[in-house]
Amino acid sequence: MEPENLLPSIVWRGNYSGNLDLIKKRIYSYIESKPYSMTNLYGNCIQSSAADEPPHEWEELTDFNTWFADSYMEPWKNWNYELTDNIVPKSWFTYYPKEAYAGAHTHNMVSLICIFYVNAPSGNLEIQNPLFYHWEGTPRRNGLEWLEIPVNTGDVIMIPGWVNHRTKPNESDDNRMIITINLYAH
């Protein structure tokens, strides 16, 4: 027996192998210079404002943006999204000191979420199995509600905005840093 892959792939993974040091410096610089535009989230996690200097517009992300522009089309097509020139990005970074995490959430009305791991010492991504409720009442084992996705520095994970996701706490003394880019198709 072999599975028939009739459904689109929900999780897409790539790895950006460019220079991350300049991006990390920019994040630290932003934190030091703009504390007023930061939001404290779960477990002392810090998030920049999407409106104030969005990371996708940073000069330090020029090479990444070129890589990303070539990469996001594959899941876009797999999800059978309409190809359009009117794709609006929105971005921010999130900084996770030790024990910080992101609780379960979705990105309402977002076509594609790109999660770029600028530094990933600890704390994997988890997605809620979108078929979890459909398996209720079947003789399945426990443990299928949340699916863990191991992540490393440089990894880029793309998921649809409707996917419920969260992170494990950062258990390292090194800070986890991600840049999130939401794509809206209009």
Q: How do residues 67-104 score in pLDDT, each as one tens digit? A: 999 899 999 999 999 887 768 789 999 999 999 998 89
pLDDT at 86: 67
Counting residues of the chain whose pLDDT is more than 70, the rounded percentage is 90
Q: Which among 144, 169, 148 has a CA at the least distance from the CA of 157? A: 148
Q: Which residue has the higher pLDDT, 25 or 6?
A: 25
pLDDT at 186: 66
pLDDT at 172: 96
Q: Is 59 helix (H, G, I), strand (E, B) or coil?
A: helix
Q: Which residue has the higher pLDDT, 158 or 30?
A: 158
pLDDT at 132: 79
Tokens in use for 16? 């950006």
Alpha carbon distance 182, 60 (integer Å): 18
Q: How do residues 101-143 score in pLDDT, each as one tens digit? A: 988 999 989 999 999 999 999 999 999 988 877 777 777 666 6
Q: Average the pLDDT over 165-181 and give the result.
A: 95
Sequence-distant (≥ 6) Cβ neighbours of residue 18 within 8 angstroms: 63, 64, 67
pLDDT at 30: 86
pLDDT at 35: 62
Q: How confident is the model at residue 41 (pLDDT cuts 50, 70, 90)?
A: low
- Whether residue 49 is predicted with pLDDT greater than 80 in this model: the reply is no
- Whether residue 37 is predicted with pLDDT greater than 60 in this model: the reply is no
- Whether residue 36 is predicted with pLDDT greater than 60 in this model: the reply is no
Q: Average the pLDDT over 27-39 and give the result.
A: 74
Contact criterion met (CB below 8 Å) for 26 and 33: no
For 49-153, list the strands marked E by DSSP: 87-96, 112-119, 125-128, 146-149
Q: What is the mean pLDDT of the chain?
A: 88
Structural domains of the chain sorted by starting position, each given as residue range(s) with its CATH number in brackets: 12-185 (2.60.120.620)
Alpha carbon distance 11, 70 (integer Å): 17
pTM above 0.85, yes or no: yes
> What type of residue is 104?
A
